[in-house]
Amino acid sequence: MTFPDVLKGKVLVIGFIYTNCPDICPMTTHNMYLTDQKLKKEGINGVNFILLTFDSERDFPSVLKKFAEIRDIKFDNWSLLWNTKQKTDPLLRRLDILAIPTDSSYIDDGELNYFVMHTDRISLIDQRGHLRKNYKGSTVNLDKLYNDIKTLGKY
């Protein structure tokens, strides 16, 4: 899996999520959203925010679009990425992201009610595509993330 060309040469903030997660992944997403808002308030617009789903079998692009829109995420500098499990898994392994299905069960209407135990992570990637730092996504210190982005981007 490779990132789209449009993201090359930019500072990237990547969060790893699945959309059926009601607690941790929305916290991670919200922390990224707050960081983006703060950067924009300072006139810094060159940072790209990415949410990469590790639930390739359900989080199709249409689902990711709804997940973003309901949270007022603007697509000018945000990308929500999906790919097949076959292509996503090697990238997740390289980034040391684990996602393990747990406690899944079928509900009355026959649909699968599923949960995933996963790494809670936001990663900071530099302009050359190198991983520079990892943070605990749901509880990241926002000032620290903000300052690291500014340092990396020389903003």
Partner 1 sequence: MITLFAFLILFYSQGNILQVKNQWVRPGAKGMATALYFEVENPTDKPDTLYKITSDISSMIQLHETYTKDELMGMRKVGKFVIKPKTSLELKPGGYHIMVMKLKSDIKKGDEIEFKLHFRNAGSIIIRAKVK
| Cα distance between residue 140 and residue 127, in whole Å | 22
Q: With CB under 8 A as the contact rule, which of the stretches 34-42, 44-52, 74-82, 112-120 interacts with partner 1?
A: 112-120
What values do phi and psi take at 5, rounded to 5?
-55, -35
Residues 60-99 that bind partner 1 (CB under 8 A): 63, 66-67, 69-72, 98
Which one among 6, 41, 43, 102 touches partner 1, defined by CB under 8 A? 102
In whole angstroms, how close is the CB of 66 to partner 1 at the nearest point?
4
Q: Rule CB under 8 A: is residue 5 a binding residue for partner 1?
A: no
Q: Rule CB under 8 A: is residue 110 a binding residue for partner 1?
A: no
The answer to whether residues 50 and 4 touch, using CB atoms and an 8 Å cutoff, is: no
Which one among 1, 10, 26, 142 touches partner 1, defined by CB under 8 A? 26
Q: Which residues pair with 123 in a beta bridge?
A: 14, 134
Q: Rule CB under 8 A: is residue 141 a binding residue for partner 1?
A: no
110: Cα within 13 Å, side-chain hemisphere: 0
In whole angstroms, how close is the CB of 25 to partner 1 at the nearest point?
9
- Please give the structure tokens belonging to residue 130: 């190198």
Q: Which residues pair with 101 in a beta bridge?
A: 116
The answer to whether residues 146 and 35 touch, using CB atoms and an 8 Å cutoff, is: yes
| Binding stretches for partner 1 (CB under 8 A) | 19-24, 26-27, 63, 66-67, 69-72, 98, 100, 102-103, 107, 111, 113, 115-120, 138-139
